[in-house]
Amino acid sequence: MSKLNAEEYKSFESIKHIDANGNEFWSARELSVALEYVQWRNFSRVIDRAMLSCKNSGYDVGDHFAEVSKMIEIGKGGQRNAIDYNLSRYACYLIVQNGDPRKEIIALGQTYFAIQTRRQEVADYFNQLDEDNKRLVIRGDIKQWNQMLAEAAHKAGVISDTEFAAFQNAGYMGLYGGLDVADIHNRKGLKDGQKILDFMGSTELIANLFRISQAEEKLKKDKIDNAQAANETHYIVGAEVRETIKRVDGTMPEDLPTPTRSITEVEREQLKKLKNKQLMLDE
């Protein structure tokens, strides 16, 4: 992302509001300024088209375009009451989709709100999953990020198996208050060959995903070039994640319950269900 794009994206984020119920919204009047519409009447036509798109998509327009009144400045320090709208993220997305395509800021707005809308869709989908399926999703993400972390660690000077084991232990020790891989394995009561990541609930997996992703980024950003510094970096990142959990009064990862079934068992069960559904469709 270029510096210009980053600044423009920041401008959309800076005008976001949060209501008393914790819901985010944008003021149409403020969005019109961010999208460089000088005259409200021109922007209101864009809103009308966006409302029509919302209706045609099967959504309740009032849920996404909440009409409100707002005092606006007029000449010589005066004010008057005017129509405004509290817009959902989806409403903003529809507005930029219906805006003037010749405006560079409209193209940036399309990208910003498309990304944010997709993120919300993913989050909504994830929150509807049961615990086992949440574990499956996060464990899949961790496998990908662990591969990226391994590559970053290798470039940073973590070469041998012994060095990599020490590197892994450093991250866990930071996050788990001094417990290394063997300690966590024993605390969970696991057998030889069982992986501790496969016996974590979704909350514990998310904490580890954050540790892994942030460690990978920091190794690259700080241009770490030796195994000892890489270990220290991994430990610091793990400890910072632990401090974050503490600040929000969360449960420390070592105190979270251990699932009775491994991710492997859950995955095998889900694949079996999927196969049975496919067979039923073929009947």
39 vs 273: which has the higher pLDDT: 39
Edge-first strand listing for the sheet containing 16-18: 16-18, 24-27, 79-87, 65-73
Across 180-193, average pLDDT: 96
Q: What is the residue whose two structure tokens read 């000088």?
A: 38
The tens digit of pLDDT for each residue in 103-148 reads 888 888 888 888 777 777 777 888 888 999 899 889 988 998 999 9
Helix (H) or strand (E) holding 24: strand 24-27
The tens digit of pLDDT for each residue in 62-73 reads 999 999 988 777
Integer angstrom CA distances of residue 179 from 172, 210, 227: 7, 18, 20
The tens digit of pLDDT for each residue in 157-177 reads 999 999 999 999 999 999 999
Across 254-282, average pLDDT: 79
Do the bridges between strand 24-27 and strand 16-18 make them parallel or antiparallel, or are there none, so unpaired?
A: antiparallel
**Residue 87: pLDDT band by 50, 70, 90 thresholds?**
very high
The tens digit of pLDDT for each residue in 193-250 reads 999 999 999 999 999 999 999 999 999 999 999 999 999 999 999 999 999 999 999 9
C-beta of residue 221 within 8 angstroms of C-beta of residue 161? no
The tens digit of pLDDT for each residue in 50-59 reads 999 889 888 8
Report which listed range, 12-21, 78-87, 151-160, is most confident. 151-160
| pLDDT exceeds cutoff 70 at 278 | no
Across 263-272, average pLDDT: 85
DSSP state of 190: P
Query: b/e for 5-21, b at 16 or more Cβ within 10 A?
Result: eeebbeebeeeeeeeee
| pLDDT exceeds cutoff 50 at 1 | no
258 phi/psi in degrees, rounded to 5: -95, 125
Query: b/e for 200-233, b at 16 or more Cβ within 10 A?
Result: bbbbbbbbbbbbbbbbbebbeeeebeebebbbeb
What is the spatial distance between Cα 144 and Cα 151, in angstroms, rounded to a whole number? Answer: 11
Helices 161-175, 202-221: crossing angle, 10 deg rounding: 120
What pLDDT shows up at residue 128? 87
